[in-house]
Amino acid sequence: MALVGFARSSIARLAVLHAGLLAVSMMAVLGGVYLGTSRLIAEEGDQLIALEAQGLSEDFRERDLDAFVTTVVDRAEDPWVRGGVYELRGPRGDFLAGNVVVLPELAVQPGGWAEFDVAVTRGDANASRRIRAKVAELGGGYRLLVGHDVQDRRTFRAVMLRSLAWAVLVTLLFGALGGWWLGRRLSRAAQAISASAGRIAAGNLGERLALTGSGDEVDALVSRFNELLGRVEQLTTTMRAVLDSTAHDLRGHLNRIRGAAQDARQTAREPAAAAAADAVLAEIDRLSETLQGLLRIALAESGTAPLDEVDLSAVAADLAEFYQPVAAPGQLSVAIDPGLSVRGHRQLLAQALSNLLDNALKYGRGTPVALRLTRAGANARLEVEDRGPGIPAEHRELATQRFRRLPGSSGLPGSGLGLSLVAAVARLHHAELLLGDAGPGLRAVLELPLAIGGSAH
Amino acid sequence: MKILLVEDDRRASDYLLKGLRELGHAVEQAFDGEAGLKAAEAGNYDVLVLDRMLPKLDGLEIVKQLRAAGSAVPILILSALDEVDERIQGLRAGGDDYLAKPYHLEELAARLDALARRQGEAGFVARLKVADLELDARARRVTRAGRKIELTAREFQLLEFLMRHAGQVVTRTMILEGVWDYHFDPKTNVIDVHISRLRQAIDKGFERQLLHTVRGAGYTLTEDP
């Protein structure tokens, strides 16, 4: 788990990328040097062999055979002093001179090149040396093999390759370390920003990110982020103040209107006047109910509602008991796991659940309603479902918007704020209201993170 | 009942004054915090109605000063700020009840009645009696005409609440707050259903009905309606 997490982290990706790029460029540079050097050495060596073979061919043409054989014998006398090997063969393939016997086995065209190993005794040690040779056609059926010891070339190549491998390995190691360091720095900054953003989203708008003081790009980002937060806080505070004073003002007005209407109702002499006053009173009450609903949603969404540890099991059980008499016998089934506590706002949670039960009993049109509260990992899962007509998938998002009432619900009472309050309360509790198909019917699900300490009472 | 009304909104105050007088109460008015505090300290009122936000002296501040001076007069705080949490602040400061604007006159009157009556009683009474209906809060036992009545825990609480306010009108919100501690209004008429179940339990089979519905206001438990 930890490894998978690490492999997915940006630190790991950056470390691998950094090391990989460094290693590839190192391989390109050193590989180029290696190829160039070994080609140069090989070409120069071959040129020397070709030159000697050419010289000896000229000797063969200018001198008589015996003198030429003597020259070859002289040169071949001690092959490891000058590092040369020779073999001279006559027209019938007979061995005339030389210090190796390889020509009969070599399937080389005259003028061609061959490579073979020769066993050498030097001191006590037996060693095998690599020879590169050219076969020259001397004319009249005589053939001469001229070769040089190229063992050093091979050794050089091996050393080069080994160094290259080491260089790449070391580069990989340091590249990974560098990438890891860089990644960790960025990742720490990102984590700090992410943690702060989480707390700010939870309503702690006064929080600011700490600067590292290095004045680098991360610091620049952080101070920009802080500016943004300052702006958000200022806007939120202004919004809140406007909302509070507007609400206060509206309530004052409504109160006066209600007082006047009530007064009119009490002093009305004619039934028509009394009926009119009653209608006004009823409208005022609906208006204040809507205002109240909107303000509750605003309270939940502001994230400023004070949160405490709430025994959700008890809240759910109380509400189930509260609604039980409204339901037909056996209509409301309840299954509640005990002892599930969340950090939350008791009144808002109770109101949200009350809205869900209310909707299920109202829109479920007498079908069975189920209330379930279960533990789902680190969450408390609250479900309310009915077997009524449900909400078609394309309308579910609309259902949580303010004042949206779904087609077909116009005959039923409701302000169009019920589900938006539930959605707002869910967000206050870091949860989401999910509306699904109970097949048939509507299933509303809230998954709220359990309070730390889980099952406190 | 002698009521002091401290409210800076004159029109609202006048409507309230008129409404309360029609219900038979003696009402005096004050229009700012300082005048309100002075009147409350001088006069002998049965209950105070304070607006939460007042010029010169804040409503909560008046409550604190009165309580600090040892006054135990019941206080109802009226407020155009209705957040569940505002309410808690008001009660913590020493208020006895809290009502959000816009309020129904019947609601306010019922609450004032309950507040003034509570003041009259000395301490916790465990045995309550209305006609031949008796409730023992300690033994969790209810009898009517000597016959035991079985109630659920919540029905018992509801009956105890009604009996403690016997003879008074209790509104649906008073019941919601007092029995369930719910500070919101459930859309359906849940309270009515609970009341009718309780009525089944205590009144069914008896000639004299004790639990009555008061139209447009709430309920009352009394032997003489």
For B126-182, how does the pLDDT look when each residue is reduced to its tens digit (9 = 90+)? 888 888 899 998 889 999 998 999 999 999 999 999 999 998 899 999 999 999 999
Nearest of B216, B186, B210 to residue B198 by alpha carbon: B210
More confident residue, A439 or B174: B174
CATH number of the domain at A359, please. 3.30.565.10
Nearest-CA distance A429 → chain B (Å): 17
SS3 assignment, position A313: helix
Of B125 and A123, more confident: B125
- How much is the average pLDDT of A255-275? 90
Round the average pLDDT of chain B to a whole number and report it. Answer: 89
CA of residue A382 relative to chain centroid, distance: 31
Tokens of A381: 């899962």
Residues A346, A411, single domain; the answer is yes
Q: Which has the higher per-residue pLDDT, A205 or B12?
A: B12
Q: What was the pLDDT predicted at A66?
A: 86
Examine the pLDDT at A325 and tell me if it is beyond 80. yes
Is A353 a domain residue? yes
Claim to verify: residue A149 and residue A36 sit in the same structural domain:
yes
Range of the domain at A313: 308-449
| In a shared domain, residues A387 and A429 | yes
Ranges of beta strands (E only) in chain B are: 2-6, 26-30, 47-51, 75-79, 97-100, 127-130, 133-136, 141-144, 147-149, 170-171, 211-214, 218-221
Cα distance between residue A137 and residue B66, in whole Å: 130
On the CB side of A422, CA atoms within 13 Å amount to: 25
DSSP 3-state of A390: coil
Q: Are residues A293 and A325 in the same domain?
A: no
Does residue A413 carry a pLDDT above 60? no
Kindly state whether residues A328 and A290 are assigned to the same domain. Answer: no
pLDDT at A406: 65
**CATH label of the domain that carries residue A94:** 3.30.450
3-state secondary structure (DSSP) of residue B46: coil
Q: What is the pLDDT of residue B6?
A: 95
Tell me, what's the pLDDT at B35? 92
Please report which helix (H) or strand (E) contains residue A19, including its range: helix A10-62
Winning range, highest mean pLDDT, from A119-133, A151-165, B65-79: B65-79
Are A359 and A414 in the same domain?
Answer: yes
Cis peptide before A440 (omega within 30 of 0): yes
The closest CB to that of B82, out of A292, A318, A414, belongs to: A292
Residues A313 and A413 in one domain: yes
Domain B127-221 belongs in CATH node 1.10.10.10: yes
Considering the domain architecture, whether residues A38 and A98 belong to the same structural domain is answered as: yes
Cα gap A135→A147, rounded to integer Å? 9
Contact call for residues A422 and A314 (beta carbons, < 8 A):
no
**Which residues does residue A332 pair with via DSSP β-bridges, in sequence order?**
A369
A252 phi/psi in degrees, rounded to 5:
-60, -50
- Smallest CA–CA distance, residue A325 to chain B, in Å, is 6
Residues A363 and A444 in one domain: yes
Residue in A326, A401, A410, A411 with CA at minimum distance from that of residue A371 = A326
pLDDT of A410 strictly over 70: no
Contact B83 A251 (CB under 8 A): no
Percent of chain B with pLDDT over 90: 55
Q: How many domains does chain A have?
A: 3
Looking at residue A81, its pLDDT comes to 55
Q: Which residues in chain B are contacts of A345 at CB distance < 8 A?
A: 84
What residue has token string 């509801």?
A: B158
- Name the residue with higher pLDDT: A447 or A396: A447
* pLDDT class of A275 with cuts at 50, 70, 90: very high
Are the CB atoms for B50 and B6 separated by under 8 Å? yes
Q: Do A314 and A298 share a structural domain?
A: no
Domain boundary among A251, A280, A302: A302
DSSP state of A364: T
Q: Point out the domain boundary residue: A157, A180, A195.
A: A157
pLDDT attached to residue A70:
86
Residue A209 in any domain: the answer is: no
Has residue A198 been placed in a domain? no
pLDDT at A309 over 80: yes
Q: Out of A268, A302, A336, pick the residue that ends a domain.
A: A302
Q: Does residue A353 sit in the same domain as residue A388?
A: yes
Tell me what pLDDT residue A455 has: 44
Q: Is residue A97 helix, strand or coil?
A: strand
Q: Is the pLDDT of residue A158 over 70?
A: yes
Q: Looking at the predicted structure, is the pLDDT value of residue A454 above 50? A: no
pLDDT of A438 higher than 60: yes
Tell me, what's the pLDDT at B87? 82
pLDDT of residue A223: 86
CA distance A246 to chain B (A): 10
The domain limits of chain B are: 2-120, 127-221
Q: What's the pLDDT tens digit per position in A331-368? A: 999 999 999 999 999 999 999 999 999 989 988 888 99
Contact A342, A451 (CB under 8 A): yes
Position B25 scores a pLDDT of 92
CATH number of the B2-120 domain:
3.40.50.2300
Residue A105 burial (C-beta neighbours within 10 Å; 0-12, 13-18, 19+):
exposed
Residues 6+ apart with CB under 8 A from B106: B169, B171, B216, B217, B218
How close A351 comes to chain B (CA, Å)?
Answer: 6
- In three-state secondary structure terms, B94 is coil
Q: Is residue A165 part of a domain?
A: no
With 50 as the cut, is the pLDDT of residue A456 above it?
A: no
Residue A405 located in a structural domain? yes
Residues in B lying within 8 Å of A, measured between beta carbons? 9, 11-12, 14-16, 18-19, 22, 53, 80-85, 100-105, 154, 180, 182-190, 193-194, 197
Tokens representing A35 are: 């190829």
Which one of A253, A262, A308, A405 makes the best mutation probe of the B interface by having the most chain B beta carbons within 10 Å?
Answer: A262
Contact B101 A326 (CB under 8 A): no
Whether A174 is in a domain gets the answer no
Taking the C-alpha atoms of residue B186 and residue A359, their distance in angstroms, rounded to an integer, is 11
Cβ contact (<8 Å) for A295 and B83? yes
In a domain, A176, yes or no: no
Q: Looking at chain B, how many residues does it have?
A: 225
Can you tell me whether residue B191 is helix, strand or coil? helix
Any residues with CB less than 8 A from the CB of B119 and at least 6 apart, and which?
A: B46, B47, B72, B73, B74
Q: Are residues A428 and A402 in the same domain?
A: yes
Q: Which residues of B touch A405 (CB under 8 A)?
A: none
